[in-house]
Structure 1
Amino acid sequence: MGKDYYKILGVDKGVDDEALKKAYRKLALKWHPDRHQGDKDKESAEIKFKEISEAFEVLSDKNKRQIYDMYGEEGLKGGAPPPDAGASFAGGFPAGFNFPGGGGTTFTFSSSDGRGFNPSDPNTIFSQFFKGFGDTDDDFTSAFPGGFRGFGSKSKMSSGFGDFGDFGSDIFNRQRGSDGVSEVKHSLPLSLEEIYKGTTKKLKVKRKLIDSASGKVVQTDKVLEITVRPGMKAGSKFRFPNSGDELPNGETQDVVVTLEEKPHPVYTRDGDNLHITLQISLLEALVGFKKTIQTLDGRNLVITNTSVISPGQEQRFAKEGMPTKDPIKKGDLVVKYNVLFPAKLSEAQKSQLQNIL
C-alpha cells in the first residue's frame, strides 16, 4: 500500500473537499520548514511538509484519488490506469490532471515520462493554495509572526524542493485589487508645481521574471511612463497590467503607481482650492496694503486690500486655484491673513493711538 495519505492528513477515507482543504491548511502551516529552527528540526519538517503536500495533491484530484484507493501509492506512481479508463490507458494515464486548491485555484501536475504520478513541488502547492489570502489571514500571520521569508531565500530545502530564490514575501505580501488581480504598489511623489502644470514622468521599477529555459528567477528593470494631468489629486492611481513580478503560479502582477503630493512651503491644497497664509502688519491691517505673491505656474499675482482686516480673516480669489478636468474651470485661491502685532508700544505711541481711535 505504501504511504497512507489519509493518515498523513488525519482525515477519513470519505473526506470531502472542504475538510481536505482545512486539514492541509492546518498541517502545511504547522510543518512549513521556515517555522522550525535547527538543522535537525528543519530537516524533519521538510520531510513532513513534503508528505503533506503529496497527500493533498493526490486526494484533491478525483482521478488520482480513485487510482490510489484501488492500487495504493505503488500503483499510482507506477502508472496504473484510472478505474473507468479501459484499454485506452494501457500505457499509463496521461499527464495534466487538475485538482482544486484553496479559493477555487486549480493546480496542475504532469509526469515527465507520461507514466505515473510524480509529486509536484510542495512550494508551488503551498503558494498557489494561499494565493490571494490577503493581509487579514490571521492563521497565516500567526504561523509566521516574524514575517514570511520566502521559499529558498534563506534556507535551501534538502528534500529536492524547488527554489524560488528572492521571491520571498512578494508571493504572500502582495496586494490584490478590487478585480482580484495581484498587484505591486509604488508611489510617485510630485511637487505641487508639477501637479499644477501637469507632467510626464518615467519610473524605473525592478521586477522578477522566471527564465523559461532554466526555471530560475532573474531580476530586470522596466521603465513605466506616467502622464499626470494638470490638477490631478493626490491618491490618483495609474495601473500597468502585467508589469510586475512573474509568480510561480504563472500569474504576472500588475504595477499600481499612486500619486503623492510633496509638502509645499507656501501653499496647501484642499480639493481644487489652494490656501496660503499671508503675514501683514497691524498698520497694514488697519489702513490697507498691496502685496505680490508668486503663483504655482510662476506668475506674479498682486493682492490688494483697503478695508480693515481682522486676524484670521480670509479673502477668496476666484480661478486662482488648481486646474480641473474642465480646462475652463479652476479652483479658488483662499488667502488667510495673519496680523502681526508689535511686541511693545511706547507711552507716546499709546497716547497717539488713543487720540486717533
Structure 2
Amino acid sequence: MSKRDYYEVLGVERGAEERTIKKAYKKLAMKYHPDRTQGDKGMEEKFKEAQEAHEILTDSRKRAAYDQYGHAGVDPNRGGGHGQGADFGDIFGDVFGDIFGGGRGRQSRARQGSDLRYNLEMSLEEAVRGKDVEIRVPTLVECDICHGSGAKKGSSPTTCPTCKGNGQVQMRQGFFAVQQTCPTCSGKGKIISDPCTPCRGQGRVEKTKTLSVKVPAGVDTGDRIRLTGEGEAGESGAPAGDLYVQVNIREHEIFARDGNNLYCEVPLGFATAALGGEIEVPTLDGKVKLKISQETQTGKMFRLRGKGVKSVRSGSIGDLMCKVVIETPVNLSTKQREMLEEFDASLGGGKHRPKEQGFFDGVKKFFDDLTK
C-alpha cells in the first residue's frame, strides 16, 4: 500500500515551519494515541503514521531528502544487500516507487519500472516565462553489459525447472490447492546460472541521469511535467516507468500569485491619495504608470489588465491587482507639523472625513441607546 504524503498526514503546507508541524502532530497524537482509542487498530495506525511524518519533517536533513525525492529519500531499507542475488528493487530501485503505486506490492515476473518524482524549485519570473533546466535524477537503468537479461555475456537465463516458467507453483492442502510464488526463481519464471557481474544478475544498475526539462511558461506550484520512459528501468527488458517533475514556486518579495492574477501592495503618499496623480508600479515586464484618482482611500484595488501570468493551459493572460496603502508621513519637522495642524484645523466639520464622522456618530448612538 502506498504511503500518504507526510504533509498531508499532518495537514500542513509543504513550506510549514517546524513549530507548525510540531503543533499539528501534537493535536493528532492526542486524538489517536492508543491510550485514548482503546485498542482501535485503525486509530493506532493513524497514530503511527503521524509519528513517522513528525519524525521525518522535524529532522532538517531527512526533510530535505523527503522534499527532494519523496518517501524513497528517507527509506531506511535503501542501503545494504543480500549477496550476489540482491534485488536492486529493495536496495535502490524503490526510489520514489511507492509514491505513484510502484514498489513492493507489484506482481512477480518482469515488471515495468517504477515512476519517479523530482521536485523542481523555480522563481516566479522563471515560472512565468518558462525555462529549460537540467536536473540530475538517481535511478536504475538497463545494464549495458547484459542488456537487461541479468545473465553473463555469452549466456542467457534458462526456464525454471520447478515452475516451468510460470513463476507460480501449486501446493495441495487436503482438498484445497494453493498457488504460491515459486521458491526457486522467486516468481520470475527463469533462473540465471551465471549472473552478469556489473548488475549482479539484476539486469539494472544504479546511475544518476542528467536530463533536460523544458518547463512551459505559466506553470504554478503543484503542476507536474511528465517525462515518459525516464523513470526506473523495467525488469528483464520490461518498459521503464515515467519521471514526474513537480513544480514548486518560491515566494516572491513583491508579488503574490493566485491562478493567473498577480497581487501587490503599493505604498501611496497622503497628498497623492487626496489630490490624485500618477505613480510608477512594478510589473514582471518592468515599471508602468498607474493613474491614481482623487480621494483614493487605503485598500483600494487598481487593476492592470494583461499584466499577470499567461495560462499554461488556455493561453489567457491574467491581471495585476495593485492594492494601495496610504503611508502616513514620519519624521516631520516643526514647520511641517505646524502646517499639518493648520491644515487639519481648516478641515472643520466631518464632510471631509465621512468615514471618521460616521464612525463616531455610530459610537455616540450606541452609548445613547445604552443609557435609555
Structure-1-length-normalised TM-score: 0.51
Q: Does 1:332 align with 2:319?
A: yes
Listed one character per residue, the Cα deviations across residues 282-307 of structure 1 (whole Å, up to 9, x for unaligned) are 2221122322233213x331112132
Number of residue pairs matched by the alignment: 217
Query: What does 1:76-155 correspond to in 2, within 5 Å?
Result: 133-135=1-3, 149-150=76-77, 153-154=79-80
The structure-2 alpha-carbon separation of the partners of 1:314 and 1:342, relative to structure 1 and needing over 3 Å to count, comes to: same
Match of 1:170 in 2: 95
Q: Percent same amino acid among aligned pairs?
A: 20
Q: Do structure 1's residue 255 and structure 2's residue 243 form an aligned pair?
A: yes
1:257 shift after superposition:
0.4
- Residue in structure 2 matched with residue 289 of structure 1 by the alignment: 277
C-alpha deviation, 1:219, in angstroms: 2.6
Report the Cα offset of residue 162 of structure 1. 2.9
Residue 272 in structure 1 maps to residue 272 in structure 2: no
Q: 1:287 to 1:182 in 2, by over 3 A?
A: same
Counterpart in 1 of 2:124?
192
CA distance in 2, matches of 1:174, 1:344: 57
Worse-superposed segment, 273-282 or 232-241: 232-241
CA contact under 8 A between 1:149 and 1:168: conserved in structure 2? no
Q: Which residue of 2 aligns with 1:93?
A: none
Q: Say which SS state the counterpart of residue 221 (structure 2) adopts.
A: coil
Which stretches in structure 1 are left out of the alignment for 5+ residues? 1-132
Amino acid at match of 2:3: D
**What is the alpha-carbon distance in structure 2 between the residues aligned to residue 292 and residue 348 of structure 1?**
28
SS at 1:339's partner residue?
A: strand
Give CA deviations for 1:236-273 in whole Å, capped at 9, x if unaligned.
21112221223557563311001221211111111111
TM-score by length of 2: 0.49
Out of 198-207 and 167-176, give the one that drifted further. Answer: 167-176
Matched, 1:220 2:220: no
C-alpha spacing 1:300/1:162, structure 2 compared with 1 (3 Å): closer
- Cα displacement (A) at 1:276: 1.1
Cα 1:303/1:185, change in 2 over 3 Å: same
- Paired residue secondary structure (1:176): coil
Counterpart residue number, 1:50: none
CA distance in 2, matches of 1:161, 1:210: 17
Q: CA deviation at 1:327?
A: 8.5
Which residue type is aligned with residue 326 of structure 2? Answer: V
**What amino acid is aligned across from residue 272 of structure 2 in structure 1?**
E
Alpha-carbon RMSD: 3.7
From 107, 115, 134, the counterpart of 1:183: 115
Higher relative contact order (CA 8 A, sep 6+): 2
State the match for 1:355 in structure 2.
Answer: 346
Whether contact under 8 Å (1:150, 1:168) holds in the other structure is: no
